Amino acid sequence: MNDLIVTKASGEEVRFSVGKLLQSLRRSGASAQLAEQVLEELEPLLYRGITTKKIYRYAYKILKKLSKPTAARYSLKQGIMQLGPSGFPFEKFVAELLKMQGYDTHIGVFVDGQCIRHEIDVVATRDGRTNMIECKYHNQGSTKSDVKIPMYIQSRFKDVEKVWPSEHDYEIRFHQGWVVTNTRFTEDAQRYATCMNLHLIGWDYPDKGGLKDLVDSFSLYPITCLTTLSNTEKQHLLDKRIVLCKELLHQEKLLLQAGVRKNHLASVLAEVETLCGSPHEPTETA
């Protein structure tokens, strides 16, 4: 199977990596036996040139049949991409992740700069240090945040910073600018951020402490990961500004209002409780 040629989202053709697929399944909480079973059922469906997106869909469908909670964790990246179209759900998601790390957070904060007034997506404070955070949401996994994004947050940071010497009682003084995205950064974006002392968090950046690592560590999954909710039900909840699975714990009335059938409530609540019950430790690969 390792000799199979597959097509990435970019159109590039590469060799299929069984190891990467197994690692992804194991990181989602699948046991070695479950991961091998998924691979066994997946193999007959593969063919030369198949897209990686289609492989994901096949693997997800098989996993959903075998273990819904594992399928929900496996679909994390896709789930986050379904948080749009507005940016608010992703901003709330990021703020909640930071709260789990001990930050005091506020969403949509307006502050004055020397030139203009700025709306900051998330303001996060811990240990006396306050950070201004730009949340860059993308609905396509192949879209990267390029160097213009950290340059943008740096220019805003500097505009706000210029007010401080003349305003001794200025409401907020920022110590660092951050950019958080649900995809990846270009190499130029990473280099610029390092040079300017900006903090970046991407899907798997930095190597330890990327978005996926943080979600898995705190079991803070978005409702869009749930396999037991329809897209219509998920959108209804997002419209009500319900973003996190933990917000659905013991919320039968809320789920009914979203259109969940009464005889389906138990399944939804069971999946929510399984996902939110305890922090998920990524399983080590063999």
Q: Are 234 and 224 contacting, i.e. CB atoms less than 8 angstroms apart?
A: yes
When pLDDT is cut at 50, 70 and 90, the band that residue 164 belongs to is confident
In this prediction, residue 87 carries a pLDDT of: 85
Distance CA 281, CA 29 (A): 8
Q: Which amino acid is at 283?
A: T
Model confidence over 120-155: pLDDT tens digits? 999 999 999 999 999 999 988 889 999 999 999 999
In this prediction, residue 217 carries a pLDDT of: 87
In this prediction, residue 282 carries a pLDDT of: 38
Degrees, nearest 5: CA angle 58-238-52:
20
Query: Of the spans 73-82, 167-176, 177-186, which averages the highest pLDDT?
Result: 177-186
Distance CA 202, CA 211 (A): 6
Two tokens, residue 85: 């179209």
When pLDDT is cut at 50, 70 and 90, the band that residue 163 belongs to is confident
Say whether 244 sits in a helix, a strand or coil: strand
Mean pLDDT (the chain, rounded): 90
Q: Which amino acid is at 93?
A: F
Cis peptide before 206 (omega within 30 of 0): yes
Among 8-22, 201-215, 272-286, whose mean pLDDT is lowest?
A: 272-286
Q: E strands within 127-245?
A: 129-136, 144-145, 176-181, 184-185, 199-201
Say whether 126 sits in a helix, a strand or coil: strand
In this prediction, residue 170 carries a pLDDT of: 54
Question: Which positions ≥6 away from 30 have C-beta within 8 Å?
Answer: 38, 63, 67, 70, 74, 283
In this prediction, residue 285 carries a pLDDT of: 28
- Average pLDDT, integer, range 204-212: 93
- Average pLDDT, integer, range 20-48: 93
- Average pLDDT, integer, range 275-283: 55
In this prediction, residue 249 carries a pLDDT of: 93
In this prediction, residue 177 carries a pLDDT of: 96
pLDDT reading at 280 higher than 50: no
Q: Which amino acid is at 247?
A: E
Q: Are 205 and 180 contacting, i.e. CB atoms less than 8 angstroms apart?
A: no
In this prediction, residue 165 carries a pLDDT of: 63
Taken as a whole, the chain contains a residue count of 286
Comparison of pLDDT for 257 and 27, the residue scoring more? 257
In this prediction, residue 286 carries a pLDDT of: 27
* Number of C-beta neighbours around residue 152 at 10 A: 14
Say whether 64 sits in a helix, a strand or coil: helix
Q: What are the sequence ranges of the domains in the chain?
A: 5-74, 88-216, 222-276
DSSP state of 282: P
pLDDT reading at 195 higher than 50: yes
Model confidence over 261-276: pLDDT tens digits? 999 999 999 999 998 8
Provide CATH code, domain 88-216: 3.40.1350.10
222-276: CATH topology: DNA polymerase; domain 1 (1.10.150)
Model confidence over 73-102: pLDDT tens digits? 999 999 999 998 888 999 999 999 999 999
Q: pTM for the full model?
A: 0.85
In this prediction, residue 168 carries a pLDDT of: 54
Backbone angles phi, psi at 176, to 5 degrees: -160, 150
